[in-house]
């Protein structure tokens, strides 16, 4: 016979983290970390001598040709991309860590970011239909729907 020590069950005081929240937070955190690292690498590559000047020149010429812009604009665009990836990667790591911990504010941010992703992906589908965008749209819809499920909202105390 087990002894009752008078402690309340963890299930009553704080709901167990739903499995899909764990998957979303873990996978999102992993992808955000990759984005952060890519941003740092891009910034370091464009602002230091990490890659040879000839390689950097060839890289910028390819970007300039692809977007029909000057080489200096290509360099500035690439630096801006590095900054954006770094900032959004860091923000993504924080939000996904908060999702894993059940922080209420991160539920709201998760909903906002996923709705923005859903709208952006839908806009991309209108411009150019791709299977990747269809898959991304489905993922965003599922995540937004799931974040509003009663057990998920209970986990975030919403």
**Cα–Cα dist 151/156, whole Å:** 9
The mean per-residue pLDDT over the stretch 43-66 comes to: 84
Do 108 and 114 contact (CB within 8 A), yes or no?
A: no
Is pTM beyond 0.85? Reply is no
pLDDT (0 to 100) of residue 13: 63
**Looking at per-residue confidence, does 85 or 50 come out higher?**
85
- HEC secondary structure over 27-89: HHHHHHHHHHHHHHHHHHHHHCCCCCHHHHHHHHHHHHHHHCCCHHHHHHHHHHHHHHHHHHH
Looking up tokens 């167990």, which residue turns up? 16
pLDDT (0 to 100) of residue 129: 78
Q: What is the largest CA-CA distance in the chain?
A: 79
- Residue 50: pLDDT over 80: no
Looking up tokens 């919403």, which residue turns up? 158
Rounded CA Rg of the chain? 21
Buried b (16+ CB within 10 A) or exposed e, 33-46: eebbeebeebbebb
**Looking at per-residue confidence, does 3 or 22 come out higher?**
22
Percent of the chain with pLDDT over 90: 45
Structure confidence by residue, pLDDT tens digits, 73-121: 888 888 999 999 999 999 999 999 999 999 999 999 999 989 998 998 8
- Residue 11: pLDDT over 50: no
Sign of the alpha-carbon torsion through 72, 74, 78, 80? positive
């Amino acid at each position: 016979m087990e002894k009752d020590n008078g402690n309340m069950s963890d299930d009553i005081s704080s709901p167990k983290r739903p499995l899909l929240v764990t998957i979303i937070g873990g996978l999102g955190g992993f992808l955000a970390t990759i984005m952060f690292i890519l941003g740092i690498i891009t910034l370091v590559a464009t602002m230091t001598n990490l890659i040879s000047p000839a390689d950097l020149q060839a890289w910028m010429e390819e970007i300039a040709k692809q977007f029909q812009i000057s080489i200096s604009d290509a360099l500035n665009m690439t630096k801006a991309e590095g900054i954006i990836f770094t900032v959004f990667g860091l923000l993504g790591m924080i939000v996904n860590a908060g999702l894993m911990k059940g922080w209420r504010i991160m539920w709201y941010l998760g909903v906002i970011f996923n709705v923005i992703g859903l709208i952006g992906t839908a806009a991309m589908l209108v411009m150019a239909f791709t299977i990747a965008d269809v898959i991304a749209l489905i993922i965003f819809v599922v995540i937004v729907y799931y974040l509003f499920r009663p057990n998920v909202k209970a986990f975030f105390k919403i």
